[in-house]
Amino acid sequence: MATGSSGDGRRVGILGGTFNPPHVGHLMLAECARDELGLDVVLLVVAARPPHKVVDADPGADVRLELCRAAVAGEEGRLEACDVELRRDGPSYTADTLRRLTAERPEDRFTLLLGGDAAAGLESWHRPRDVCSYADVGVAERGADDHERARATLRRLGAEARLRPFTLPPVGISSTLVRARVRAGRTVRHLVPRAVEDRILEGGLYRS
């Protein structure tokens, strides 16, 4: 069972990623999960060293954290940027992140927010049973995805009861698309929050 209670603690969503840069699709996922799953707040947890991918055109984890803070400015208490993975060395394993957050916020209850593909592949993660012991698993439904692959994975991990599906409208936006448009000198207006766009332009990020 996840550490925490529904009494004094908050129901906290965990949306992890490189956020390179954060875009409106990230915020839509966070808000849909917050609304449908009854979460009090969603933390955008910036990965310092993702264990299974290279961060393309990385301006640095500190810069990505700054962009996340810009993206959620004015949303305090609903959406918050989180630096927990920047405060430790080594790969940014979700099991370690959830363990630390549980220690720091013992009264809170956590829900890890994932897309269907990520949830279906949870068995390949570092210490997946630990992940499920610390948090529920909120899975975004897109199109025809009915969560059956995610449900089967969680069943094999002995954590089917952890599944918390929610609906996400189709969003054709990715950080890769945003970076490509910046490199091409094209506008990213309305693809990222205005404050993120301003910081990208002011800092000359993603131009090469």
Whether residue 68 contacts residue 22, with contact meaning beta carbons closer than 8 Å, is answered with yes
**What single DSSP character describes residue 83?**
-
Residue 72 is predicted with a pLDDT of 98
Tokens at residue 29, please?
């996922």
Residue 143 is predicted with a pLDDT of 63
pLDDT band at 144 (very low <50, low <70, confident <90, very high): low
Chain-wide mean pLDDT for the chain?
A: 92
Residue 145 is predicted with a pLDDT of 64
Domain ranges of the chain: 11-203
Q: Which CATH superfamily is domain 11-203 in?
A: HUPs (3.40.50.620)
Per-residue pLDDT, averaged over 188-196, amounts to 97
Neighbouring CB atoms inside 10 A of 179's CB total 19
pLDDT tens-digit profile of 71-118? 999 998 999 999 999 998 889 999 999 999 999 999 999 999 999 889
The residues near 60 (Cβ < 8 Å, ≥ 6 apart) are none
pLDDT tens-digit profile of 4-23? 334 578 999 999 999 999 99
The residues near 153 (Cβ < 8 Å, ≥ 6 apart) are 119, 120, 121, 122, 123
